């Protein structure tokens, strides 16, 4: 559930444009040279004629004709009973309540939200693939496309009309099931979990840990298998510090409190007083003047967030409310400090956490403390999630339609499903392995695929180094070529996991623009443009007479 | 067949289908509830208790899921088990609970699922939380899970027994027992339960040990008078738990500081149930089926011997063996002793002495109270008698009294700057090497409890 993006968006767009330009230039060059070699000057002239026509076909499209083709596509889809998928949804929603939740009425909203979004995604996804991959081949088979292309219609308009038509059908279904899903969530989520239907807006800060001497350290591992959090010792000078940036007074109108939300973990090295929770102190520190205000002591409330507010009176989750004017003790005297004038310096604020119980430990990770900006309604997060789902479906339709312009129905379906599976399940693994390969300087235990095959055939185990010979050089060169191909391939496979905003929504967070909505939009657009061009050329060279 | 026309073949197929249908209908005819009213299959199902309904309540969601999955139930269940373990390791408790719910949809009649996942929620997850209220919440979740297991599987005595253990041992013996016992009758979720216990686990708002007794009794009811076996322990031990719960209840009341007639009544009730109900149950010795009762006199066993033809000597032998196994005579004596005013006074003085020491800081008063209390307990011990080797019956058979007495001696040692060198009440607990380990353990706990560490 990332909230920040590793790549500046402008750089990403420029990189994409550069790659598109390079491919276009290479394609034009190769096409031009082969035309020249095949047909001489005439061939070259014909090649540039095709390019010229393509440019005009791709750019000078008629919205009316696209609309007409989209309408035709929609009617076809309705005729093929695509809307029946709605009935499947109805059945699922009718009986889902049986399978989610228990006799208790404290089932978290998370389960219901995940169910709705997952169902929408995985029911519409195959529909989008099948509709887009089988539409054109079916038209070619029925010869209806033959009738279409005899009319004054550009092939680019056929591609666009198809994409628009299928997108319209999917959008209509998505809208209906989303509205039903939204109503269903509001109705079935138990009353006590309704407050979890919220879109929190977090602002995270960088975290560092300081040891007893004030030096940076990585914290203690208490033997937890899940090494998500590192621990600081209680009753010592060890602390965890969060550095928040960009805090503006205008973000908290009407003297709203600044809210800090936390989710720490406690580790007891001895039992101690079991009736009293491990506690931590929280200090606000001005990063420039070092003015320090102790906010007091808080119980760790480990793993309480989902239930605490139901169990304890006046417990508003794990929130620390910081008023604009803070009263605090400085030695014996009570002083006051203004949050934004005295503590926030140019939008920066440091927050220090220390565990107070000697011999006990407090586990922290960077995401465990954040400034909770004013909340948004659940509907905002929900519809953003639906929007990213819609973008994913449009992307699939685009890829499917393009594939169907070149390939027959079954092959197009397999291609699109293959890309999808790669995008959903394998892309992250591929990126991770490639990253490791290049960070290790091309060293990998057992080698790449060619080396692995060689070792298999010769019975050589993976830890024995290959003899220095020409064979080794050839193998490593081939393997580096395979890795280079995979390196390029990772950019051709769309990262479908980015479109999944359900994790944010189910955990009560707003869907962030920078790390989810915008990347989803850019991926869809990024694939749409080359897919449109490829689809156009595919349809140009395709034999439209049914065989 | 090849000589038949298409119409004739269809007729043959139709007749074949009809014949098979008749057979299927006859074999599978549903039973009307009494033997012999259904078809062969339903009678056999009834006979061997194989029907879904005979195993417990039928959950339509579970049945639907199993039907929809066709033959893939095993694979789906395995994936869910892995997922549950993943959620446990990654501390995603709500997901773990959801996955446990999904597993029981697929494996509703697999006893271990209920036991394992209830344990996971009630013991492993609860231990991860730092706030006692949160721990109690997860203990309840585990208990509720098991309770549902008993509804779905009315023929597993072990599940009823485990419910009893949750409410008896988990709530009553955990480190947090003081808080848990209070929460059991006054749930921290006040907005929902209005200051009473969680109605789903304690609908009658009773003490946890009395609820445990109910569940142990239900477990006994499953095995009594039926062919159903339990696979936990020897039957006389298994069946003693409801009666031990009554003793636990009486003891816990005193630990909570109630020394009125009700305390005496609770012990009297425990003794009555122990001797007149549990003691009168007829058990069969493991391995040879010799029938006996634990409370039965020689005459009773003689009468039983005449009825079943088994030798009286064998009955006496096995009764004696099982007296040892169940510690029957000790508990009988204990229930009797605990009702005596001297014993109740001794316990009251220990309670008040401890309170004066810890809460009021009145060391002099604490010393006086505990000295009187230890003397009273010494009198009770002497009255109860000793075994052949001179060991006290009360001190050498159960840790309950021993712990209480050593704790009092530790406080006395502190407030009097040491115990007298020559003689003092309960001295055998202080000098006998048998109790050395217990003394060291309690001394360590005492140091932490007294706030000296």
Lowest mean pLDDT among A105-109, A254-258, B207-211: A105-109
Model confidence at B196, pLDDT cuts 50, 70, 90, reads very high
A132 within 8 A of A162, measured Cβ to Cβ? yes
CA distance A306 to chain B (A): 8
Least confident of A302-306, B186-190, B241-245: A302-306
- Looking at chain A, the whole-number percentage of residues with pLDDT higher than 90 is 28
End-to-end CA distance of chain B: 96
Q: What is the mean pLDDT of chain A?
A: 84
From the list A308, A393, A353, A332, the residue with the least C-alpha distance to A128 is A393
Q: Of the ranges A242-251, A301-310, A448-457, A464-473, which one carries the lowest mean pLDDT score?
A: A301-310
Closest CB to B94: pick one of A108, A300, A302: A108
Calpha distance B186→A285 (Å, rounded): 42
Mean pLDDT, residues B404-427: 89
Residues A189 and A224 in one domain: no
Q: Is A91 on the interface with B (CB under 8 A)?
A: no
Categorize the per-residue pLDDT at B53 as very low, low, confident or very high, splitting at 50, 70 and 90.
low
Element holding B414 (H helix, E strand):
helix B399-415
Q: What is the reported pLDDT for A32?
A: 86
pLDDT tens track for A49-100: 888 888 888 888 888 888 988 898 888 888 877 677 767 766 776 666 656 6
Sign of the four-CA dihedral B144, B150, B152, B153: positive
Predicted confidence band at A306 (pLDDT cuts at 50, 70, 90)?
A: low
Distance from CA of A98 to the nearest CA of B (A): 6
Q: How many CA atoms lie within 13 A of B180 on its CB side?
A: 25
Domain locations in chain B? 251-339, 347-449
Please say whether the beta carbons of A254 and A229 come within 8 A. Answer: no
The residue ranking higher by pLDDT, B283 or B389, is: B283
Using CB atoms, which residue from B102, B130, B144 is nearest to A103?
Answer: B144
Which helix (H) or strand (E) covers residue B328, if one does? helix B328-338
Residues A129 and A73 occupy one common structural domain: yes
Mean pLDDT value across residues A164-173: 91
CA distance B99 to chain A (A): 10
Residue A274: its chain B contacts at CB < 8 A? Answer: 132, 175-176, 179
Do residue B131 and residue A225 have CB atoms under 8 angstroms apart? Answer: no
Q: Do A307 and B134 touch (CB under 8 A)?
A: yes
pLDDT at position B345 is 92
Are B141 and A110 an interchain contact pair (Cβ–Cβ within 8 Å)?
Answer: no
Report yes or no on A129 lying in a domain: yes
Region of poorest pLDDT, from A277-291, A397-411, A438-452: A438-452
Which pLDDT tens digit goes with each residue over A322-357? 888 988 887 778 888 898 989 999 999 999 999 999
pLDDT above 70 coverage of chain B, percent: 93
Q: Which residue has the higher pLDDT, A380 or B394?
A: A380
pLDDT confidence of residue A271: 83
Has residue B367 got a pLDDT over 70? yes
CB contact under 8 A, A308 and B200: no
Q: What pLDDT sits at residue A309?
A: 43
Contact A522, A459 (CB under 8 A): no
Contacts of A307 in chain B (CB under 8 A): 134, 137
pLDDT of residue A58: 83
Residues A162 and A71 in one domain: yes
Kindly state whether residue A428 falls inside one of the protein's structural domains.
Answer: yes
Q: What is the pLDDT of residue B311?
A: 93
Range of the domain at A72: 61-195+378-432+496-541
Q: Is residue A464 part of a domain?
A: no
Distance (Å) from the alpha carbon of B105 to chain A's nearest alpha carbon: 8
Name every chain A residue with its beta carbon within 8 A of the beta carbon of B177: none
Q: Do A311 and B105 touch (CB under 8 A)?
A: no
Percent of chain A with pLDDT over 70: 91
Q: What is the CATH number of the domain that holds A226?
A: 2.60.120
Measured in angstroms, the CA of A498 and the nearest CA of chain B are apart by 22
How many Cβ atoms sit within 10 Å of the Cβ of residue A349? 25
Band (pLDDT 50/70/90 cuts) for residue B246 is very high
Distance CA A221, CA A232 (A): 9
Q: What is the pLDDT of residues A189-228, one digit of tens each?
A: 877 778 888 899 999 999 999 999 999 999 999 988 878 8
For residue B450, name the pLDDT band (cuts at 50, 70, 90): confident
- Asked if B312 contacts B273 with a C-beta cutoff of 8 angstroms, the reply is no
* Most B CBs within 10 Å, among A229, A307, A315, to test the B interface: A307
Whether A104 and A120 map to the same domain: the answer is yes
Strand partners, B235: none
Q: Which residues in chain B have Cβ-Cβ distances shorter than 8 Å to A271?
A: 175
Query: Distance between CA A530 and CA A429 in Å, rounded?
Result: 25
Interface membership of A191 toward B (CB under 8 Å): no
For A371: left if phi > 0, alpha if psi spans -120 to 50, otherwise beta; the answer is beta
pLDDT of B56: 59
Tell me if A392 is assigned to some domain.
yes
pLDDT average, residue stretch A436-462: 83
Contact A311 B130 (CB under 8 A): no
Cβ-defined contact of A225 to B89 (cutoff 8 Å): yes
Instruction: Tell me how far CA of residue A389 lies from CA of A176, A178, A415, A520, in angstroms.
Output: 14, 10, 21, 9
A479 belongs to a structural domain: no
Cα separation, A72 vs B99, in Å, equals: 45
Query: Which residues in chain A have Cβ-Cβ distances shorter than 8 Å to B129?
Result: 302-304
Alpha helices per DSSP H over A322-408: 378-406
b/e burial code for range A370-380 (CB count within 10 A of at least 16 → b): bbbbebbebeb
Tally of structural domains, chain A: 2
Q: Which residues of A touch B105 (CB under 8 A)?
A: 99
Residue A377: pLDDT over 50: yes
Please check whether residues A98 and A213 belong to one and the same domain: no
Token digits for A352?
Answer: 């220090």
Q: Could you tell me if A287 and A247 are in contact, meaning their C-beta atoms sit under 8 angstroms apart? A: no
- Min distance A316 CA to chain B CA atoms (Å): 14
Average pLDDT of B213-223?
Answer: 96
Same domain, A292 and A399: no
Angle at A506 (CA atoms; ends A500, A510), nearest 5 degrees: 75
- pLDDT reading at A317 higher than 80: no
Is A312 touching B (CB cutoff 8 A)? Answer: yes
Is residue A463 within 8 Å of residue A435, measured between CB atoms? no
C-alpha distance from residue B70 to each of B73, B75, B76, B79, B98 (Å): 7, 11, 11, 16, 22
The reply to whether A48 falls in a domain is no
Using the beta-carbon criterion (under 8 Å), do B134 and A108 form an inter-chain contact?
A: no
pLDDT digits (tens, 9 = 90+) for B152-174: 898 899 999 999 999 999 999 99
pLDDT beyond 60 at A314: no
If asked whether residues A90 and A228 sit together in one domain, one would say no
| Whether residue A294 sits in one domain with residue A150 | no
Q: What ranges in A106-253 are assigned the alpha helix state H?
A: 109-142, 144-150, 155-188
DSSP-assigned letter for residue A346: T
Q: What is the Cα–Cα distance from B432 to A407, expressed in whole angstroms?
A: 91
The predicted model gives B384-389 an average pLDDT of 84
Cβ separation B176–A299 shorter than 8 A: no
A195 vs B: CB within 8 A? no
Task: Answer yes or no: are the C-beta atoms of A106 and A190 closer than 8 Å.
Answer: yes
Per-residue pLDDT band for B347 (boundaries 50, 70, 90) equals very high
In a domain, A32, yes or no: no
Of the pLDDT bands very low, low, confident and very high (cuts 50, 70, 90), residue B197 is very high
Check whether residue A423 and residue A522 sit in a common domain: yes
Whether residue A392 sits in one domain with residue A331? no
CA A116 vs CA A113, A248, A271: distances in Å? 5, 37, 42
**Shortest CA distance to A241 belongs to which of A279, A174, A286?**
A286
Task: For A1-60, write each residue's pLDDT tens digit.
Answer: 666 655 677 888 888 888 888 888 888 889 888 888 888 888 888 888 888 888 888 888
Measured on CA atoms in the order A314, A316, A319, A320, is the torsion positive or negative?
negative
A354 in a structural domain:
yes
In DSSP terms, which residues pair with A363 in a beta bridge? A231, A265
A229 touches chain B (CB under 8 A): no
Distance CA B280, CA B293 (A): 6
B129 to A111: CB separation less than 8 angstroms, yes or no? no
Do B61 and A98 make contact, defined as CB atoms within 8 angstroms? yes
**A317/A305 Cα distance (integer angstroms):** 5
List Cβ neighbours of B255 (8 Å cut-off, separation of 6 or more): B351
Distance of alpha carbon B299 from alpha carbon B282, whole angstroms: 15
Average pLDDT value for residue range B389-418: 87
Mean pLDDT of A108-119: 84
Cβ within 8 Å of residue A249, ≥6 positions away:
A340, A344
A325, A335 contact by CB (below 8 A): no
Residue ranges of chain B whose CB lies within 8 Å of a chain A CB: 60-61, 64-65, 89-91, 93-95, 97-98, 101-102, 105, 128-134, 137, 141, 144, 148, 175-176, 178-179, 188-192, 200
A190/B contact by beta carbon, under 8 A: no
- The span from the CA of B64 to the CA of A173, in Å, is 27
Identify the H or E element spanning B47: helix B40-47
Amino acid B52: pLDDT: 65
Would you say residue B30 has pLDDT above 80? no
Interface mutation vs chain A, best among B131, B136, B189, most A CBs within 10 Å: B131
Q: In this complex, which of A100, A274, A301 lies closest to B175 when CB atoms are compared?
A: A274
Quote the CA–CA distance of A453 and A465 in Å, as a whole number.
15
Q: How far is B326 from chain A (nearest CA, A)?
A: 34
Is the pLDDT score of A521 beyond 90?
Answer: yes
From CA A431, how far away is CA A161, in angstroms rounded? 35
Which phi and psi angles does A232 have, rounded to 5°?
Answer: -115, 145
In the structure, what pLDDT confidence band is assigned to residue B54 with cuts at 50, 70 and 90? low
Whether residue A132 is found in the same domain as residue A75: yes
Q: How far apart are the first and last CA of chain A?
A: 50
Number of Cβ pairs closer than 8 Å across A and B?
84
pLDDT, position B61: 62
Quick check: B85 and B125 in contact, CB under 8 A? no
């Amino acid at each position: 559930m990332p909230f920040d993006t590793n790549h500046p968006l402008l750089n990403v767009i420029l990189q994409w444009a550069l790659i598109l330009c390079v491919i276009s230039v290479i394609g034009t060059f190769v096409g031009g040279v082969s035309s020249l070699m095949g047909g001489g000057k005439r061939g070259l002239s014909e090649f540039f004629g095709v390019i010229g026509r393509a440019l005009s076909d791709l750019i000078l499209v008629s919205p009316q004709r696209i609309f007409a083709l989209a309408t035709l596509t929609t009617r076809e889809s309705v005729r093929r009973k695509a809307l029946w998928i709605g009935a499947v949804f109805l059945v699922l929603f009718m009986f889902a309540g049986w399978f989610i939740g228990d006799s208790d009425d404290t089932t978290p909203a998370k389960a219901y939200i995940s169910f709705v979004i997952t169902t929408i995604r995985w029911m519409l996804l195959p529909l989008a693939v099948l509709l887009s991959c089988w539409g054109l081949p079916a038209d070619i088979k029925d010869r209806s496309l033959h009738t279409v292309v005899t009319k004054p219609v550009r092939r680019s308009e056929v591609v666009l009309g198809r994409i628009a038509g299928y997108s319209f059908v999917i959008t209509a279904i998505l809208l209906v099931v989303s509205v039903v899903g939204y109503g269903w969530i509001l109705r079935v989520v138990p009353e006590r979990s309704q407050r979890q239907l919220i879109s929190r807006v977090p602002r995270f800060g960088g975290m560092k840990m300081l040891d007893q001497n004030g030096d940076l350290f990585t914290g203690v591992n208490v033997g937890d298998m899940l090494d998500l959090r590192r621990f600081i010792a209680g009753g010592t000078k060890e602390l965890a510090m969060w550095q928040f940036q960009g805090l503006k007074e205008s973000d908290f109108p009407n003297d709203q409190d600044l809210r800090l939300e936390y989710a720490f973990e406690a580790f007891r090295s001895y039992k101690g007083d079991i009736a009293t929770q491990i506690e931590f102190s929280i200090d606000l520190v001005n990063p420039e003047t070092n003015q320090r205000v102790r906010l007091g002591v808080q119980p760790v409330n480990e793993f309480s967030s989902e239930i605490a507010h139901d169990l304890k009176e006046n417990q508003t989750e794990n929130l620390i409310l910081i008023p604009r004017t803070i009263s605090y003790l400085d030695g014996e005297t009570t002083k006051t400090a203004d949050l934004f004038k005295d503590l926030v310096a140019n939008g920066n604020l440091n927050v220090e956490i220390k565990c107070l119980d000697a011999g006990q430990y407090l586990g922290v990770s960077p995401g465990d403390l954040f400034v909770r900006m004013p909340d948004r309604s659940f509907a905002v997060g929900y519809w953003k999630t639906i929007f990213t789902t819609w973008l994913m479906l449009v992307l699939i339709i685009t890829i499917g339609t393009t594939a169907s312009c070149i390939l027959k129905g079954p092959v197009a379906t397999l291609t699109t499903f293959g890309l999808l599976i790669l995008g959903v399940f394998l892309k992250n693994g591929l990126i991770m392995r490639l990253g490791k390969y290049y960070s290790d300087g091309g060293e990998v235990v057992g080698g790449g695929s060619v080396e692995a095959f060689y070792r298999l055939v010769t019975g050589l185990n993976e830890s024995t180094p290959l003899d220095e010979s020409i064979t080794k050089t050839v193998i490593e060169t081939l393997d580096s070529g395979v890795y280079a191909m995979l390196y390029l391939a990772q950019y051709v496979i769309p990262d479908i996991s980015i479109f999944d905003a359900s994790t944010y929504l189910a955990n009560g967070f707003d869907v962030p623009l920078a790390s989810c909505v915008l990347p989803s939009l850019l991926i869809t657009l990024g694939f749409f443009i080359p897919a449109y061009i490829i689809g156009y050329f595919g349809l140009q060279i395709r034999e439209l007479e049914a065989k | 067949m090849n000589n038949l026309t298409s119409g004739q073949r269809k007729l043959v197929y139709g007749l074949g289908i009809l014949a098979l249908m008749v057979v299927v209908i006859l074999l599978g005819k549903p039973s009307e509830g009494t033997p012999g009213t259904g078809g062969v299959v339903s009678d056999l199902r009834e006979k061997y208790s194989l029907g879904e309904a005979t195993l417990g309540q039928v959950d339509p969601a579970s049945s639907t899921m199993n039907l929809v999955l066709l033959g893939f139930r095993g694979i789906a269940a395995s994936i869910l088990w892995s997922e549950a373990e993943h959620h446990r390791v990654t501390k995603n408790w709500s997901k773990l609970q959801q996955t446990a719910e999904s597993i029981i949809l697929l494996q509703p009649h697999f006893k271990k699922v209920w036991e394992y996942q209830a344990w996971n929620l009630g013991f492993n997850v609860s231990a991860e939380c730092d706030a006692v209220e949160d721990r109690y919440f997860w203990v309840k979740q585990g208990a509720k899970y098991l309770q549902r297991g008993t509804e779905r599987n009315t023929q597993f005595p072990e599940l009823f027994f485990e419910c009893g253990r949750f409410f008896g041992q988990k709530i009553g013996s955990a480190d947090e027992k003081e808080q848990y016992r209070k929460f059991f009758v006054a749930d921290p979720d006040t907005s929902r339960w209005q200051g009473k216990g969680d109605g789903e686990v304690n609908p009658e708002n009773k003490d946890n040990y009395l609820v445990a007794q109910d569940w142990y009794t239900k477990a006994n009811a499953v095995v009594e008078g039926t062919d159903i076996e339990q696979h936990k322990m020897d039957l006389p031990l298994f069946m003693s738990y409801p009666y031990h719960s009554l003793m636990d209840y009486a003891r816990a009341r005193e630990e909570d500081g109630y020394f009125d007639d009700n305390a005496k009544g609770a012990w009297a009730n425990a003794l009555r149930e122990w001797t007149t109900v549990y003691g009168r149950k007829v058990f069969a010795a493991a391995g040879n089926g010799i029938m006996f009762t634990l409370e039965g006199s020689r005459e009773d066993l003689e009468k039983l011997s005449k009825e079943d033809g088994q030798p009286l000597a064998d009955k006496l032998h096995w009764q004696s063996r099982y007296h040892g196994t169940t510690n029957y005579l000790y508990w009988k004596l204990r229930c009797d002793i605990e009702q005596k005013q001297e014993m109740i006074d001794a316990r009251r003085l220990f309670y008040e002495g401890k309170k004066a020491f810890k809460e009021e800081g009145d060391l002099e008063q604490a010393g006086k109270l505990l000295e009187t209390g230890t003397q009273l307990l010494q009198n009770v011990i002497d009255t109860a008698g000793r075994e052949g080797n001179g060991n006290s019956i009360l001190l050498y058979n159960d840790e309950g009294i021993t712990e209480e007495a050593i704790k009092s001696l530790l406080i006395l040692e502190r407030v009097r700057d040491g115990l007298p060198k020559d003689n003092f009440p309960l001295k055998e607990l202080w000098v006998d090497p048998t109790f050395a380990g217990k003394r060291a353990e309690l001394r360590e706990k005492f140091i932490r409890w007294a706030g000296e560490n």
